[in-house]
Structure 1
Amino acid sequence: MALTLDHPVLSSLLPVVLLIGIGFLAGRLKLVRGEAVRDLSNLVFLVLVQALLFRSMATAQLDKLDLRSVALYYIVAGVMFFVLLFIQGLNSRSAVVALAAIFSNTLMIGVPLVQLAYGPAGLLNLFTLISMHALVLLTLATIVIELLVAREKEASGEAGRRHIAATVAQAVKNAILHPVPLPIIAGFLYSLTGIGLHPIVERPLELLGSAFGPVALVLVGVTLSRTAIGPHVKGALMISGLKTILHPALMALAGWALGLSGLPLAVMVVAAALPVGANVFLFSQRYHKAEELVTASVAISTAMAVVTVSVVMWLLPRGA
C-alpha cells in the first residue's frame, strides 16, 4: 500500500505529529515556561475535557448504540489491562502504563482516519466505540488507580490503616468525583431526560471540547521538550508495541474467533491499532506517575502507527 500525503493514515497522523512538534518547539524556545506546564495541564484536564465528555454523553443517541459490537472491544482491552497490571506489579505506576497500552487516540486520529477510509458507515461503528470509550476505560482505570494509591498511602504511613471496605468505598468515591468519570456520568444522566442541549449551552461546550485535542497534543510536545527521552526509549517502544501491534492483533483474533468480519471488524481493529491517547498523558500528569515514559510513548506510538495502521487497513479492507 503506497503512502502519499493524501493517504488516510498520513492525512490523519501528520497533523498530530505537527501539533506535538509545535509544542516541542515552543518548549525549546521557552515560549511556554516550565512552571506553566502544570497550569496548562489543569486547563486541559479540568476545563476542556469536562466540556468534551459532558457534551459527548449528553448528546449521544444511546438508543442507537449497538452494545454487542463494542462489548468484545472492552472485554479484550480490560483483560489486557489487568494482565499487564499483574505482570508489572500492583501499583499505581503500573496502572498508568497498562492504561497507555489499551487507550487509543480515537478522537484526534480515529475520527478523520475512519471517515476518510470507510465513510459514514465506518464512522457509525467508530462513534459507537467512542461513545463509551472514556466511560468504560477511564472509569475503570480511575477506580483501579485510586484503590492502588490508597493502598500505597497506607503502606507508607501517609494514611492510617483502614478496613478494606472503607478503603474501597473511599477509592470509589474519589473515582466518581474524579474530573473524568464525573462529567461522563452527569452527561449520561442528562441524556436520559431527553431534553437536549440548547444551542446557547451546546456551542460553548463544543468550542471548549474541540480545543481539547490540539491543546493536549501541544502540551505533550512542550513536556517532550523538557523530557530526557534517551532513558525512556526502550520502555516507550515496549508500550508503543503493545498499543499498536499486540492490541489490534488480540482484537482481530477475538473478532475472528466470534465470527466477526467486514466493516465492523475492520473499524474495531483499526481503533485498537491507533496510538496512545492524550488522556493517558493527562492521567500520568495528574497522578505524577510515569510522566516522562508516557510522554515518550505518545510520541513514539504516533510515529509507529503510520506503519501499523497501514498494515491493519491493508489486511482488513472494508469487505474483509
Structure 2
Amino acid sequence: MELAQHPVLASLIPVCLLVGAGWLAGRMRWVGPEAVRGLSNLVFMLLIPALLFRTMSAVRFEQLDPRPVLAYFPVALAWLLAQIGWRGFTPRSVVLALGGTFSNNVMIGLILVELAYGKPGLVTLLTLVSVHSLIILTAASVLIELAQARQASRDSAQAPRLLKTLWSAMRASLLHPIPLPIAAGLLFAQTGWSLSPLVDQPLRLLGNAFGPLSLVLVGISLALTPLAGHWRAALPVAACKNLALPLLVALSGWALGLGGLAWQVIVLAAALPTGANVFLFAQRYRVEQELTTAVVGLSTALGLLTLSAVMLLTAALAGS
C-alpha cells in the first residue's frame, strides 16, 4: 500500500492541506480578523447546526453507546484537577488546566472523524460533543470562581456569585448551536420519520460546506496568532493536551473494555488541539489572554504532527 493511500494519512492529508491553505490566506492578509469573526459566526450558527441535525436525525437511542462518555469525562475532569493541583489553586492555573483539557472537537474533530471513521465514528464523537462543553466548561467556571474567591479571601461573599455562575455556565452550554441541534436531531429520529428531500438536500449542502470552511478558518486563525514571547510557557500546556490526555483516555477506554472504532474515536477526541473556547474563557475572566491565545495556536500547529502519530498508533493497536 502506498503511504498516501494509508487510511489514516488519507484522512489527515486533506485536513492538513486545507489548514495550510487557510494559513497562507491569513499570512497574505487575504482575510482579516473582522472577516474571520463573521465567517466563524456563519459556521457556528448555520453550517454546524445543519450538519449535526442531519447526522443525528437518523440515529435511534439504542444505537448510542454510553461507554465512550464514561471512558472520557471522568478522566478529563481528573486531568483538569490534576493540572490545577500541580500549578496551585489560582485563576491562572484553572485557565491553563482548561487549555490542557478542552478539545477542538467541532472545527477540526468533526471533519477529521468523518473522513477517518465515517458516520459511525461521527455518531460516537457527537455523543461526546453533546455534553463536552456542559461538563468541562461548567467545571472550569466553578473552579475559577472558587479560586478567585479564595484569592480575594471573601468566600462567603462570593457564594451567590458562584451559584449564579454555575447556572449561567450550564444554561449557556445547553442553549448553544452545538448541543441543541444534536438533541433536536435525536428527538426527530425517535419519531420514525425521515427528512423530506426538500429539507434534507439543503441541510446536506450546508453540512458539506462546513468541513472545508472550518479548516480554512483554523489555518487563518493560526496565521494570525502571535506566538512570540509565549511559546515556551505554552508548550507544557500543549503537551498536556495533545499527548497526556489521549494517553489517559486510551487507558480508561481499555479499562472499560472499549475497543475498535469507539476507542479510536475517543482517543482522537482527546488528542485534538485546544479549542478556541479556552481563549473565550480566559477573555471572560481576564486571565492570561495572550498566553491562552498562544496555547491554542501552538497546540493546533503541533496537532498536525501529534494527531498523525495518535491515529496511526491507535489504528495499529485496534488492528484496523
State the TM-score, normalized to the length of structure 2. Answer: 0.76
For each residue in 1:136-182, what CA deviation from the matched residue of structure 2 results, as whole angstroms up to 9, or x when unmatched?
212223434555687799999xxx96724444333333332233333
Assess if the C-alpha contact under 8 Å between 1:9 and 1:306 holds in 2: yes
1-structure distance, mates of 2:54, 2:90: 34
User: For residues 64-143 of structure 1, what are the structure 2 equivalents within 5 Å?
Assistant: 64-68=63-67, 70-84=69-83, 87=86, 89=89, 91=91, 93-94=95-96, 96-100=98-102, 103=105, 105-114=108-117, 124=120, 126-143=121-138
Asked if 1:308 corresponds to 2:306, the answer is no
Q: Which runs of 5+ in 1 are unaligned?
A: 116-122
For each residue in 1:98-139, what CA deviation from the matched residue of structure 2 results, as whole angstroms up to 9, or x when unmatched?
443585844222232235xxxxxxx63x24422312112122
Q: 1:3 to 1:232 in 2, by over 3 A?
A: farther
Asked if 1:249 corresponds to 2:233, the answer is no
Code of the residue aligned with 1:9 in structure 2: it is: V
Q: 1:209 to 1:152 in 2, by over 3 A?
A: farther
2-structure distance, mates of 1:299, 1:7: 22
Q: Which runs of 5+ in 2 are unaligned?
A: 284-288
1:210 corresponds, among 208, 227, 235, to 208
Instruction: State the 1:308 CA deviation.
Output: 3.4
1:59 corresponds to: 58
Asked if 1:276 corresponds to 2:273, the answer is yes
Q: 1:134 to 1:266 in 2, by over 3 A?
A: closer
User: For residues 184-223 of structure 1, what are the structure 2 equivalents within 5 Å?
Assistant: 184-223=182-221
For each residue in 1:35-91, what CA deviation from the matched residue of structure 2 results, as whole angstroms up to 9, or x when unmatched?
222212222222222223333333322222232355323333343344335545564
Assess if the C-alpha contact under 8 Å between 1:273 and 1:305 holds in 2: no
Q: 1:112 to 1:239 in 2, by over 3 A?
A: farther
Instruction: State the 1:233 CA deviation.
Output: 3.2
1-structure distance, mates of 2:168, 2:318: 45
Instruction: State the 1:221 CA deviation.
Output: 1.4
User: For residues 164-175 of structure 1, what are the structure 2 equivalents within 5 Å?
Assistant: 164-175=162-173
SS of 2:169's equivalent in the other structure is helix
Code of the residue aligned with 2:111 in structure 1: it is: M
Superposed CA RMSD in Å reads: 3.6
Assess if the C-alpha contact under 8 Å between 2:56 and 2:185 holds in 1: yes
2-structure distance, mates of 1:308, 1:217: 19
Assess if the C-alpha contact under 8 Å between 1:45 and 1:282 holds in 2: no
2-structure distance, mates of 1:315, 1:203: 38
1:120 corresponds to: none
Q: 1:66 to 1:175 in 2, by over 3 A?
A: closer
1:45 corresponds to: 44
1-structure distance, mates of 2:51, 2:262: 27
Q: 1:59 to 1:28 in 2, by over 3 A?
A: same
Q: 1:192 to 1:16 in 2, by over 3 A?
A: same
Code of the residue aligned with 2:115 in structure 1: it is: P
2-structure distance, mates of 1:261, 1:195: 32
Instruction: State the 1:262 CA deviation.
Output: 5.2
Assess if the C-alpha contact under 8 Å between 2:50 and 2:206 holds in 1: yes
2-structure distance, mates of 1:95, 1:242: 9
1:298 corresponds to: 300
Which stretch has the larger CA shift, 268-277 or 40-49?
A: 268-277
Assess if the C-alpha contact under 8 Å between 1:143 and 1:172 holds in 2: yes
